[in-house]
Amino acid sequence: MRLFYHPAQMGHAPERELHNGDWVPFAESPDRLAQILAVCGGGEEARDHGMAPLEAVHDPDYLAFLRAAHDEWLAAGRQGDAIGYGFPIVRRRKLQFERIDAKLGAWSMDAATPIAAGTWDAAYWSAQAALSALDAIAAGDRHAFALCRPPGHHAGADYMGGYCFINNVAVAARAASAMGLGPVAILDVDYHHGNGTQDIFYEDGEVFFASIHADPVTDYPFYWGHADEQGEGSGEGTTLNLPLPRGTDWHGYQGALDQALEAIVGWGARLIVVSFGADTFEDDPISSFALQTKDFSRMARRIHATGLPALIVMEGGYAVSALGNNVAAFLGGFDV
Ligand code: SP5
Ligand code: ZN
């Protein structure tokens, strides 16, 4: 299977993040990408598709903010990573913000997603990796892997959060639809609910979104991913949330996976875009499922068994020393 990434993705390297009231080392480190490359082989450099496919998902004003944010942070006399602290949860609207602090809060859903000097370039090229892998599918490959990092599934049309800035899967899914490769279904198997992806397609019946994740009652992102969220308007019924309890192992996971895949096939998908997070792994430092490396192969084989082409997009996974093997196990499950 072809693998796509870009060296600029290594440039996003915040030092620390806010976690349970304290500053801790940033979990979504560049080492993650290096580990995956080391185990899976060198890969191919992503091709530049420009801004248009990003603007098909995201508010151009949000993208302009992201691009300038760290420079504005430095211009304000700050050092290190840019991070907000105030969030307009009531009557959020576009005002003429002057201070970078106002902008950071206006375009974020949390205070755990720092912006460093290389963040914009890394996020831009992460999305380009997804688009480049989509090109491989468009050219006839049955499967392709986008080694995206930073990840994307928590980012909405006009907000960042959960280590995510540009929603790589949403960019690829919308581009795939526009290329006539649809109907497109997104299967999100990251440990955390893909709230940004859900939000982007919540009222869009053209893309089906199914997510298997830790129950938001106990886990981030808390406010979304509950089973009663099923889409609205023309998207009514095209969102499927399957929350599972902490401690879930393969025995508990497989039924939800089968249910999601049945829904995707029953809906009539012709392409699956997978938000693949390896943070369901038993030794993940920030997550609490109990999947083993071999379970990622089982997961992939079930997806493969639908007979649908699959574009695999990297999301989370923070057990860095095992990450390469977990990704390799997943990708290997697509080999016939
Ligand atoms: C893409 C993805 O998996 N995002 C996960 C975002 C989770 N953020 C909330 C949890 C914060 C945990 N911080 C732990 C830091 C350990 N160094
Ligand atoms: Zn995650």
Mean pLDDT of the chain: 98
pLDDT of residue 10: 98
Separation of CA 276 and ligand 2 centre (Å): 9
CATH code, domain with 122: 3.40.800.20
Q: Is the predicted pLDDT of residue 313 greater than 80, yes or no?
A: yes
Q: Is the CB of 286 under 6 A from ligand 1?
A: yes
Q: Is the CB of 320 under 6 A from ligand 1?
A: no
Write a three-state SS string for 148-193. CCCCCCCCECCEEECCECCCHHHHHHHHHHHCCCCCEEEEECCCCC
CA-closest candidate to residue 113, choices 320, 326, 316: 316
Separation of CA 149 and ligand 2 centre (Å): 12
Q: Is the predicted pLDDT of residue 336 greater than 90, yes or no?
A: no
> Where is 293: in which H helix or E strand?
helix 293-304
pLDDT in tens, 245-271: 999 999 999 999 999 999 999 999 999
CA–CA distances in Å: residue 46 to residues 55, 135, 259, 334: 18, 10, 34, 22
Residues 9-16, mean pLDDT to the nearest whole number: 98
Domain count, the chain: 1
CA-closest candidate to residue 273, choices 131, 121, 154, 160: 131
pLDDT in tens, 67-123: 999 999 999 999 999 999 999 999 999 999 999 999 999 999 999 999 999 999 999
Q: Which domain holds residue 91?
A: 2-332
pLDDT of residue 78: 97
pLDDT in tens, 165-206: 999 999 999 999 999 999 999 999 999 999 999 999 999 999
Q: At 19, is the pLDDT very low, low, confident or very high (cuts 50, 70, 90)?
A: very high
- Residue closest by Cα to atom 15 of ligand 1: 27
Instruction: Give the number of other CB atoms < 10 A from CB of residue 88.
Output: 11
pLDDT in tens, 134-146: 999 999 999 999 9
> What secondary structure letter does DSSP report for 46?
P
State how far the Cα of 93 lies from the Cα of 98, in Å rounded to an integer. 14
Give the percent of the chain with pLDDT over 90: 99
Hunting for tokens 């369901």 — which residue is that? 280
Residues 222-243, mean pLDDT to the nearest whole number: 98
Hunting for tokens 């991070």 — which residue is that? 83
Ligand 1 pocket, mutate which of 16, 163, 315 (most atoms under 8 A from CB)? 163
Q: Judge contact between 273 and 167, C-beta under 8 A.
A: no
